Structures are given as C-alpha cells and as structure tokens.
Amino acid sequence: MKSLILTIYCLFYFSIMHGQTFLPTYQSPDNGTSSKYFLSEKNYLNGDTNWIHQREETFFWDGSGYNSEGVYIYFTYDSILEYGKYDRLYIINSNTNDTINRSNYWYDEQKRVKTFIYETFDTLITGYKKQHRVKYYYDEFGNDTLLLFEKWDELNGTWKNDLCNKRKFNDQNYLLEDVSLQWIGNYWIKLSGNKYEYIMSNICSCPDTMYKYKWNYNKSGWDNYNIKYWTYNDSLVPVEYAFKLWDPDAGKYINYERFTDLEYENWPGCDKLDHSYKQQLTVFLRQRWYGEWINYLFFNGEYDSLGGYSYTYEKYNNNLWVNFEKYELRFNALGNPVFQLRHQWHNDQWEIYLGDTSIYYFDDSRLVSRLYNPWDTTENSWVKYAKFEYSDFLWYLGSEVHENAKNIDSCNVKIIPNPARDDLIVVLLDQSISITKIELISSSGQAVLCNIIKKPNQTKIHVKIPEKLNGIYFVKTTFENAAVCINKVILR
C-alpha cells in the first residue's frame, strides 16, 4: 500500500509541480465550438521579451559524451502563455517520437489547478487510456483542503475513488488536521495523519502551546505525539520554543529539546502568522534534555535577496564549541539554482561531502541548456553527470510598462471578438489619443498582420483575421505617442 501511494504521489508531484505555478485554462462561452476567438482578461504591456521552452530533454554523461535517457518532455500552452502554465505535459520516446503518456491540467478562475488527469498511450487502440485523476478543492484562504485521487474503471467507463488527502484549518488559518485516506469498497478508511490543537493565551494571538497527535492505523485512533511551547519577549517575538515527547511507557510527556536565543530574518508579526509561515532563523541555540538542558548545536545563518541562504553549525563537545557542518544554497537572478554545498568539519578543515552545481547557457535571452555537475567525494572534484536541453521556444511579453505608456491606464484598449465577420474589433477607450498601427504577432514573434491606421481619432477599428490561424497571438496596438499595448488573443 505504501509503495502504491508513493508511486502515485511521485508521479503527481512531478507532473503537477514541474512548473511550480499555475494559471487557469479559460473556457470560451461556447467552449470553442463556433467562435474562432477567445481572449484572456490580462493585458500585456510591452516590456522585456520572455521565452518559454516546449521541449526538454535529459542527457547523461557516459565517460565520453552525453547520451539521451531515451525520452523527452513536451509542454503545450493552449490558454495561458507563461512559464509553467502549460495545459499538457507529454512524455515522448526520443527515438521513435511516440507518445508514452501525457498529463492534462484544468484551472479555476482564481488561477489554481482544479483537475489533473494522467493518461498513457495505447498503441493497440492508437489512443490515450485514462489512468488517474486528481481533483482539488480550496477554502477561503486558498488552501487545498481536499485532494481527491481517482482511478479509471475501464470496465464500467467511469472514475472511482482511490485515495484522498484532507486538511482542515481554523479561522486564523492554522492547520488543524491533515489526513490521508483510502477508498475500500464503499467507504473511506484513514491511513495516516496528524491533528493539532492550539492554546492562544497571549495578547498577540500567537500560539503558546500546540498539541500534536498522530493517527494510529492499527487501533484506529489518535495517539499523543508531542507538545510544542513558545516563549515571547516584550515585543511579542518568540525567543524560544521547546518540545516534549509522549512517553507511552511512563504515560506522560517528557522534555526532549528546545531552541532558544532565537533571532529572525523574517518574523512577520502575530497578526500575519499562520501555517504558511516558513521561519528564517539567523541564530539559535539547540539543547537536549538529559535531566537538565545540555548544549547540543549552535546555528548561524544568513539569507540573500534571491532566495539563497547559508548556515553554519557548531557542536558542543567536551565543554567546547567546535565546527560541525555548514551548508550553502544559491540561485541566479532568474531563480535558477546555481549550486549547493554541504561541508563537514574533518581533520581540522571543511570537507565537501555533498554538492552540485549548474551551468546555464543562453542564446540571446533563451535558456537553451544546463549542465549539472555533482561533487565526487572520492576524486574531490566536480564531475560531469547530466545535461538538460531546451528547445521549441514560444515568445511572450513581460509585464513592464513602456515609458511612454505609463500614463495610459491599461492602454485604454478593449479587444472584442467578432466571429460573424472573422475579425476583431479594437475599441479605443481614451479619445484624447490616436491609434497609428495594429499588428497581429505569433507566439514565435513573427508579425502575421500589420494595419497602418491613417485616419486619426478612430474609436472602433475592425481587424480582419487571416484564414487558418490557430493558437496564441498578440494584438499589438501602437499609439501616436509611440506607446504600445499588447493584448493576448487565442484563435480557435
């Protein structure tokens, strides 16, 4: 059972989290059956050109060169053209170009994934066979409170319950319960989970005490697990938290460890504190309980503006603090990991025992490849391991406003589809300026249509769309003051 859950979760984690963020797949009013047009609600003002790859392939070093692992990933963007906002993810055989499987995504109006379906390609029927579906449900805070995993019943042609993950939150957005369940016949059984109770007694409504319970599958009930205590200073910033563990033999909670002398990089204040807060501690002293609190580790860390950080641990040994471990993780300005290094103190010096580095190669502003080199502890050097190649690029505009367009509120342009005449209507909302040019640009950056507007002060302009155009395009409107507005349009 555990291996099944792990397999499904690993598959879904890669497919769902590969792009990290999500936007909705918008539906046209008639589901695209008659209208050739569909518009997103977002205007793109001209700024830096951005590129997103559709193809991604991994190659491994064999001692003499890089060889493909035999498959590549292909992403399609049918509704939202931004990195990671793909509608489909295909796994394709590199040698035969045959599809092995695909993952499909649908999104809600709040730009969150609502449904995910995984399918495999069946060569016997020359089509896709449904395998798994995940449905997402959210609360008013945006937390996913229910992930419903379903499997396809081929015999009956319907989806059937399989697994689910349920989470509950209180009105302060603190996590109360997180459980995993499995569908057995006609009812759910609880496999595992955690439950939390909070005591809020200080004036800032931060928790003083949290009780954590773990689900015991064998006895079908909750077991005591631990208690966490916080201590605050006069500014209502926590300066210590400590844990007690449940001792089933003694039938009581006993001291385990505490973190004291806390200093923060990012303490948000109690009014903004909830389960989503990820503490960034710069200093703490960690102690273990042996009838009294005994020093164990001292932590010193720092964080940079790109999301990277580093820390050093000292360990208490024979009444002395000695170097123990240090770690560093860094990203480049684009958010890509550059390197991570983990050292241990050995023979009076720091020695790397874990590390990797990535080297990025660009063609203009397009990321075309990445070399991944781990650290070899035997050779004490970086070694070649893998190369990732990116291709089949799409083009889209950034959200920076052109300096001449700063005084134009959302460009004051509205695009209206007119399928009856196979054209688009460009409506100018600000009559104090004039449109001088309207272009239709493909996702590859090529202008497929250019209309020079000779008559000034037109408030409504019809743009005839060439036949056989399909996919994502941009309507680029140029004004008399050289300001530019970009609206995305999807042609069906």
Cβ partners under 8 Å of residue 364, min gap 6: none
Q: What pLDDT is attached to residue 160? A: 97
Task: Give ∠ CA 219-223-225 in degrees, rounded to 5.
Answer: 150
Whole-angstrom distance, CA of residue 468 vs CA of residue 78: 16
Asked if 177 and 195 touch (Cβ cutoff 8 Å), the reply is yes
Q: What is the 3-state secondary structure (H, E, C) of the chain?
A: CHHHHHHHHHHHHHHHHCCCCCCCCCCCCCCCCCCCEEEEEEEEECCCEEEEEEEEEEEEECCCCEEEEEEEEEEECCCCCCCCCCCEEEEEECCCCCEEEEEEEEECCCCCEEEEEEEEEECCCCEEEEEEEEEEEECCCCCEEEEEEEEEECCCCEEEEEEEEEEEECCCCCEEEEEEEEEECCEEEEEEEEEEEEECCCCCCCCCEEEEEEEECCCCEEEEEEEEEEEECCCCCEEEEEEEEEECCCCEEEEEEEEEEEEECCCCCHHHCCCCCCCCEEEEEEEEECCCEEEEEEEEEEECCCCCEEEEEEEEECCEEEEEEEEEEEECCCCCEEEEEEEEEECCEEEEEEEEEEEEEEECCEEEEEEEEEEECCCCEECCCEEEEEEEEEEEECCCCCHHHCCCHHHHEEEEEEHHHCEEEEEECCCCCCEEEEEEEECCCCEEEEEECCCCCCCEEEEECCCCCCEEEEEEEEECCCCEEEEEEEEC
User: Rounded to two decimals, what is the model's pTM?
Assistant: 0.70
Band of residue 236 on the pLDDT scale cut at 50, 70, 90: confident
Phi, psi (rounded to 5 degrees) for 110:
-90, 15
Tell me the β-bridge partners of 135. 115, 148
Whose CA is closest to 396, among 441, 331, 455, 350? 441
Residue 462 has pLDDT above 60, yes or no: yes
Whole-angstrom distance, CA of residue 336 vs CA of residue 358: 9
Query: What are the extents of the domains in the chain?
Result: 2-30+51-397, 404-491
Whole-angstrom distance, CA of residue 272 vs CA of residue 277: 9
Cβ partners under 8 Å of residue 63, min gap 6: none
Summarize pLDDT for 52-86 with one digit per residue, the tens.
899 999 999 999 999 999 999 999 887 667 777 88
Task: Give ∠ CA 123-126-132 in degrees, rounded to 5.
Answer: 80
Whose CA is closest to 457, among 485, 432, 477? 432
Phi, psi (rounded to 5 degrees) for 46:
-65, 140
Tell me what the mean pLDDT of segment 446-475 comes to. Answer: 81
Residue 179 has pLDDT above 80, yes or no: yes
Residue 156 has pLDDT above 50, yes or no: yes
Percent of the chain scoring above 90 in pLDDT? 55
Q: What pLDDT is attached to residue 269? A: 83
Q: CA–CA distance from 355 to each of 241, 339, 454 (Å)?
A: 31, 7, 62
According to CATH, the topology of domain 404-491 is Immunoglobulin-like (2.60.40)
Q: What pLDDT is attached to residue 74? A: 96
Summarize pLDDT for 361-383 with one digit per residue, the tens.
988 778 899 999 999 999 899 99
- C-alpha distance across the termini of the chain, in Å: 44
Side chain identity, residue 409: D
Q: Which among 9-13, 28-32, 209-213, 271-275 has the top mean pLDDT? A: 209-213
Q: What pLDDT is attached to residue 308? A: 94
Band of residue 396 on the pLDDT scale cut at 50, 70, 90: low
- Mean pLDDT, all residues of the chain: 83
Residue with tokens 């003694």: 250
